[in-house]
């Protein structure tokens, strides 16, 4: 009869690796990265682009690419997208400004989604015990594209909050990015056009773009109120979440 050999205790390096790769360590890293990004935004104040314009050393296609990357990074660091979209229109005009703003929107959403999925999902999913949290998670997991498209079309949920909530759910990359790109076009275009025509605030184009912004904000508030009560009813009745 063979003797059972006791398992050797894990070495120091192995234990350290397990601790560093544990869900809570990764979540802590995510929190530190977001705090560092928010701090850098407070120090460098990217919103000053609206006042001072783009650095003259960079122009042409390189300027648009650099702005797109900066747009994406700023959204990850919690800079409100309307300010950067206005700057996109003021700096590059309506067409190029919209291209840079949408590209930066999708880039920033993808970075935030990836960070949340890799660093935060394993630690946060076990905490989804409340009925409201489970209902929201079910909505995003089962109806990811439609839910994210609605969130992007009707402003109300902060951009960064939607990104990280989606990353904790089981939503796939493709529906998240496609819904973000398509759903962000109308409101982003309105802000970009408003920024491009801000020098002529009485022009019809500026008035239409600002009017569209106001209408979508009111519509977003109405949709959010309706969805809140519908979700509340489903949670109380135990029904599965739907769109």
CB-based contact 78:184 (threshold 8 Å): no
User: What's the rounded Cα separation, in Å, for the pair 65 and 107?
Assistant: 12
Total count of residues recorded for the chain:
243
Within-domain flag for 15 = no
Asked if the structure places residue 45 within a domain, the reply is: yes
How far, rounded to the nearest angstrom, does the alpha carbon of residue 8 sit from its chain's CA centroid?
Answer: 46
| Tens of pLDDT, residues 179-189 | 999 999 999 99
10 within some domain: no
Q: How far is CA 190 from the centre of its chain?
A: 19
Q: Is the confidence at residue 153, as pLDDT, over 70?
A: yes
Domain span holding position 203:
22-237
> How large is the average pLDDT for residues 139-165?
82
Tell whether the model's pLDDT for residue 221 goes beyond 80: no
Average pLDDT of the residues in 137-145: 74
Nearest to residue 84, comparing CAs of 177, 218, 188, 185?
188
Question: pTM of whole model > 0.85?
Answer: no
- The structural domain count of the chain equals 1
In a domain, 218, yes or no: yes
Residue 71 CA to residue 69 CA, distance in Å, equals: 5
Cα–Cα distance list, 235 to 61, 128, 167, 204, 232 (Å): 50, 14, 22, 46, 5
Residue 185 has what pLDDT? 94
Residue 13 counted as domain residue? no
Residue 193 forms part of a structural domain = yes
**pLDDT at residue number 1:** 47
Nearest to 152 by CA among 144, 63, 41, 68: 144
C-alpha–C-alpha distance, residues 151 and 156, integer Å: 8
């Amino acid at each position: 009869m063979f003797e059972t050999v006791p398992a050797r205790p894990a070495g120091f390096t192995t234990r350290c690796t397990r601790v560093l790769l544990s869900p809570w360590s990764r979540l802590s890293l995510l929190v530190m990265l977001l705090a560092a990004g928010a701090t850098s935004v407070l120090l460098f104040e990217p919103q000053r682009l609206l006042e001072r314009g783009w650095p003259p050393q960079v122009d042409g296609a390189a300027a648009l690419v650099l702005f797109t990357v900066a747009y994406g990074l700023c959204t990850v660091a919690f800079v409100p997208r309307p300010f950067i979209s206005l700057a996109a229109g003021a700096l590059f005009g309506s067409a190029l400004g919209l291209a840079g703003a949408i590209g930066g929107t999708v880039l920033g959403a993808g970075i935030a989604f990836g960070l949340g999925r890799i660093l935060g999902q394993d630690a946060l999913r076990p905490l989804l015990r409340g009925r409201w949290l489970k209902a929201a998670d079910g909505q995003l997991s089962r109806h990811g594209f439609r839910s994210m498209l609605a969130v992007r079309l009707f402003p109300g949920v902060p951009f960064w909050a939607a990104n990280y909530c989606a990353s904790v759910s089981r939503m796939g990359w493709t529906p998240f990015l496609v819904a973000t790109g398509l759903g962000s076009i109308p409101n982003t275009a309105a802000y970009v056009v408003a920024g491009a025509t801000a020098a002529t605030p009485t022009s019809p184009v500026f008035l239409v773009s600002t009017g569209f912004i106001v209408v979508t904000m009111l519509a977003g508030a109405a949709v959010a109120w309706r969805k809140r009560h519908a979700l509340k009813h489903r949670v109380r009745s135990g029904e599965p979440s739907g769109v």
